[in-house]
Amino acid sequence: MKALQGVGVALVTPMHADGSIAWAAYERLLDYTHQIGVDYWVVQGTTGESPTITAEEKKQLLALAKEHPAQKPIVFGIGGNNTQAVVRQLKEIDLSGVSAILSVCPYYNKPSQEGLYRHFIEVAEHSPVPVILYNVPGRTGCNLQAATTLRLAQHPNIVAIKEASGDLMQIMQIAAERPEGFLLLSGDDLLTPAMVAIGAEGVISVMANAFASFNDMVHASLAGEKEKVKQLLKQLIGINELLYKEGNPVGIKCVLKHMGICEEHVRLPLAPASAALSKAIEDALKKLSLLPQ
Give the SS3 label for residue 45. Answer: coil
Does the annotation list 121 as a binding residue? no
Please pick, among 32, 40, 107, 134, the residue that the annotation labels catalytic. 134
Does the annotation list 192 as a binding residue? no
Please pick, among 26, 40, 107, 162, the residue that the annotation labels catalytic. 162
Long-range (24+ apart) CB contacts under 8 A made by 27-33 are 27/64, 27/68, 28/261, 28/262, 29/209, 29/256, 29/261, 29/262, 30/64, 30/65, 30/68, 30/70, 31/68, 31/70, 32/261, 33/9, 33/208, 33/209
Q: Based on the residue annotation, tell me whether 40 is a catalytic residue of this protein.
A: no
What are φ and ψ of residue 110, in 5° steps? 45, 65
Q: Based on the residue annotation, tell me whether 66 is a catalytic residue of this protein.
A: no
The C-alpha atoms of residue 108 and residue 111 are separated, in whole angstroms, by 9
Tell me whether residue 245 is exposed, middle or buried, using C-beta atoms within 10 angstroms of its C-beta: 0 to 12, 13 to 18, 19 or more. middle
Task: Give the CA-trace dihedral at 247, 142, 205, 240, to 10 degrees.
Answer: 40
The C-alpha atoms of residue 179 and residue 153 are separated, in whole angstroms, by 7
DSSP β-bridge partners for residue 43: 76
CB atoms within 10 A of CB 15: 23
> Are 135 and 162 within 8 A, CB to CB?
yes
Cβ burial 147-181 (10 Å sphere, 16+ → b, else e): ebbbbbbebebbbbbbbbbeeeebbebbbeebeee
Can you say which residues are annotated as belonging to the binding site for pyruvate?
47, 204
Can you say which residues are annotated as belonging to the binding site?
47, 204
- Catalytic (active-site) positions: 134, 162
